Amino acid sequence: MYQSDGGKLKATHLERSAYLYIRQSTLRQVYENTESTKRQYALKKKAVALGWPEDSIITIDNDLGISGTSSELREGFKKLVAEVGMGHAGIVVSIEVSRLSRNSSDWLRLLEICAITDTLIMDEDGIYDVNDFNDRLLLGLKGTMSEAEIHFLHARMRGGMISKARRGELKRALPAGYVYNENDKIIMDPDIQVQNSINIFFKTFKRTGAAFATVREFNRLNLKIPKRFLNGFRKGELAWNSLTHSRSLRLLHNPIYAGIYYYGRAQIKKTVGGKKSVSMPIESWHAYMPDAHPGYITGDQFDENLKKLKENAYAYGEDRKKSPAREGPALLQGIIVCGKCGRRMSVRYQKNCSKLVPIYTCMRDCIENGTKVCQLVMGEKVDEEISKMLLEMLNPFAVKAAIKVQNELKKRKLEADSFYRQQVDRAKYDMELARKRYMLVDPQNRLVATELEAEWNQKIRELEKHKKEYEKKKEDDLKEVTKTTKSDIMQIANDFAKIWSSANVSFRDRKRMLRLLIEDVTVKNDKKIIANIRFKAGTCKTLFIERKLPICEVRKTRADIVRQVDELTENYIPSEIAAILNEKGYRAWNGNMFNLRTINRIIRTYGIKRRHKRLRGKGCLSLREKMLETNFSQAQIMQMRNEGKIVFYRVTDRDEYLYEPQNMNKYLAKI
């Protein structure tokens, strides 16, 4: 217990809570350095000794296993700062100030807030009042020392490692195909099978020229790739796995297979978003030693492989790589889930008459394991239906109806309210009755008195319970939508359609709006596209969307029209067929009227027997044959045709005719 607190501790501090902050920087410490954790929890007793009741000591231990060098990931520290800032804390307790923060700026910020809110700080050495100059100086020093300590520790360890790596002596985890010998030199794995499979891998890549194709080839031949366990109870053991796309990329990108010893290919850098592993250009690597050990491929081959991979990536298009910018029109990008396998689907665009049409694809398994594409969903129709649904749901009438329902619910709530109040009244009455009964009993009659007292207590508890229920109920009712919120909601409903269909709203903003309403959409291709929409509010909705026919199907002429063209060809020329069909109300695939050209195209495409062939089949004669048959000149026949004195047929829209044969006598009798 503390001998003296130097008069720093006041009643105002005791009125507030005490915050005990506990942290171990690494998970290993959490498991192994349990003594320190115990010491930290023991501080709680000290806070009790100073006068804080046990239940007003709040322990913050969210940060176990998280380093103190930055406040970024430490939720516990953030919470602590917030509580101190709101004046909830009378004292902050920690085993040493370094536990609070190893980062000076975080530490000083905490001190400043403690000073403003008059919060004390306590560690194993004593209590500090931040408003006291000497204490403040001491605390500042402690913070700086602790930051310096971690800096020196780090510098010494890192420096040692880097200089060892520059000499090529730093031992690191080796990938499959390499092991350390007894002199700590890197050698090829003595297991011939391992060597073979690595060699086959690089040869297959050379032959196929793509990581994806290599994976497919490995899977086709059922080849496996080795992996040595680097730690755990199976350390050193060999396992054979199927080759995956990510694994093959790792193998291809690793310079070690070209006999290069390297270190510092990726380095931790501080960025605005916190610390990040950044891949460095080769000049900035800490170590780069070609021909340091035997390689599976040559250095040139390695460079060539990387070049090849880069080219392949270009083939996919830079756009695809830059997809995080997310400017494309695919409405569901990022929130669409495959209904077949449950993976996230990616987006691809197809250009269709200067319009970008999204296609949602489920490719993850295909890329990683060289299997088939899971499913492709044409996005145009899906996007259209989803936006239609949103507009329907958020139109002013629908919202008005929703508010009406809410009012109805409120009315019912009021009815329920009287029920709860009556319950409280009844409990009060029961309690009163029990009290009276207890008061009236003869105190000598102990047995009865105890019984009645117990009953009375029971009734009091019941009354409390009902009262609490009633209070809670009231609170919930207060949370209800107020009138102003209601008018706001109506306003949003009015504006939504306008904003949604405005041409000035970028695809990106539209997608952001969508994400405020919809959690995710799961799609599955069936006879129709089944889309399950999960809303932010927790409700779900299923849409059945007609699949858009592929363009070859769309352009197809309907079978009944083809049949009619076939029948009409018997008696009519194409322009007449077009007129008949148009009159009957038939239209071409694009909604246009039929004309000579479209009918001719249908006849050609569907192999309909031409009129000429049909008439010749029936024995009709050409002009020359007719001339031979009748012994008239061409001019005479044409004149007879114009006068309608012979039976003839028009074959096409051009002046092509065929003539019905007839014997001369008949003809002469006619004239």
* DSSP one-letter string for 119-173: -EEEETTEEEETTSHHHHHHHHHHHHHHHHHHHHHHHHHHHHHHHHHHTT----P
Question: Residue 113 CB: number of other CB atoms within 10 A?
Answer: 20
Residue type, 176: A
Residue with Cβ nearer Zn ion (362 or 378): 362
Catalytic annotation present for 633 = no
In sequence order, the 6+-apart residues with CB closer than 8 A to the CB of 7 are: none
Q: Applying CB under 5 A, which of residues 362, 565, 621, 637 lies at the interface with Zn ion? A: 362
Give me the least distance between CB of 346 and Zn ion, in Å please: 11
Q: Which of residues 550-569 bind Zn ion (CB under 5 A)?
A: none
Return the number of the residue (338 or 382) whose C-beta is nearest Zn ion: 338
Shortest Cβ distance from residue 102 to Zn ion (Å)?
A: 45
C-beta of 514: minimal distance to Zn ion in Å?
22
Stretch of residues binding Zn ion (CB under 5 A), selected from 88-96, 105-113, 367-375, 594-602: 367-375
Q: Tokens at residue 486, please?
A: 């209601």
Q: How far is the CB of 362 from Zn ion (least distance, A)?
A: 3
| Active-site residue (options: 4, 17, 25, 197) | 25
Catalogue the E-assigned strands of 261-373: 261-263, 266-271, 274-279, 287-289, 336-338, 346-352, 355-361
Q: What are the structure tokens assigned to 660, written together?
A: 């019905």
Number of residues that bind Zn ion (CB under 5 A): 5
**What is the C-alpha separation between 250 and 265, in angstroms, rounded?**
13
CA 251 to CA 173: how far, in whole Å?
Answer: 14
Bridge partners (DSSP) of residue 648 are 659
- The smaller minimum CB distance to Zn ion, of residues 224 and 340, is found at 340
**Of 340 and 486, CB closest to Zn ion:** 340
- Pick the closer one to Zn ion by CB: 341 or 554: 341
* Residues 562/608, Cβ–Cβ less than 8 Å: yes
Q: Report d(CA 154, CA 611) in Å as an integer.
A: 93
Q: Which is nearer to Zn ion, 38 or 372 (CB)?
A: 372
Span of 232-240, 368-376, 488-496, 577-585 interacting with Zn ion by CB under 5 A: 368-376
Give me the least distance between CB of 650 and Zn ion, in Å please: 59
Q: Strand pairing partners for 128?
A: 121
Strand 648-650 relative to strand 376-378, pairing: unpaired
Closest CA to 256 of 312, 173, 200, 313: 173
Question: What's at 124, amino acid-wise?
Answer: E
In whole angstroms, the minimum distance from the beta carbon of 529 to Zn ion comes to 14
Q: How far is the CB of 247 from Zn ion (least distance, A)?
A: 21
Q: Measured from the CB of residue 402, what is the shortest distance to Zn ion in angstroms?
A: 35
Contact status, residue 400 vs residue 425, Cβ threshold 8 Å: no
| Residue in 408, 409, 404 with CA at minimum distance from that of residue 489 | 404
In whole angstroms, give the CA distance from residue 522 to residue 78.
37
Considering only residues 292 to 351 of the shown chain, the ones binding Zn ion according to CB under 5 A are 338, 340-341
In the chain, count of helices (H) and strands (E)?
26, 22
CB nearer to Zn ion: give 211 or 336.
Answer: 336
| 179 versus 363: smaller Cβ distance to Zn ion | 363
Nearer to Zn ion, 111 or 362 (CB): 362
Measured from the CB of residue 350, what is the shortest distance to Zn ion in angstroms? Answer: 19
Closer to Zn ion by Cβ: residue 520 or 653: 520
Q: Tell the residue number behind the tokens 């939504």, with chain if given.
A: 496
CA distance 275 to 609: 76
Q: CA 208 → CA 172, 202, 212, 295, distances in Å?
A: 31, 10, 9, 21
Is 244 in contact with 225 (CB distance < 8 Å)?
Answer: no
What secondary structure does DSSP assign to 29-80, as a single string?
Answer: HHHH-HHHHHHHHHHHHHHHHTT--GGGEEEE-TTTT--SS-STT-HHHHHH
Q: Which stretch binds Zn ion (CB under 5 A): 82-90, 351-359, 362-370, 595-603?
A: 362-370
Least spacing, CB of residue 536 vs Zn ion, in Å? 24
Q: Which helix (H) or strand (E) holds 599?
A: helix 596-605
Closest distance between Zn ion and the C-beta of residue 345, in Å? 7
Residue 331's identity, in one-letter code, is: L
Contact 368, 244 (CB under 8 A): yes
Question: In whole angstroms, what is the distance from residue 492 CA to residue 489 CA?
Answer: 5
Shortest separation between residue 341's beta carbon and Zn ion, angstroms: 3
H-helix or E-strand spanning residue 534: strand 529-535
Per-residue contact string for residues 369-408; x = within reach of Zn ion by CB under 5 A: -----x----------------------------------
- Name the token pair of 184: 């700590």
> Mapping DSSP to helix (H, G, I), strand (E, B) and coil, where does residue 671 land?
coil
Nearer to Zn ion, 356 or 359 (CB): 359
Collapse the DSSP code of 479 into the 3-class scheme (helix H, G, I; strand E, B; otherwise coil) and give the result. Answer: coil
Residues near 438 by Cβ (< 8 Å), separated by ≥ 6? 449, 452, 453, 455, 456
Closest CB to Zn ion among residues 331, 374: 374
Binding mask 199-238 for Zn ion (x = CB under 5 A): ----------------------------------------
Question: Active-site residue numbers?
Answer: 25
Q: Which residues of this chain interact with Zn ion, rule CB under 5 A?
A: 338, 340-341, 362, 374
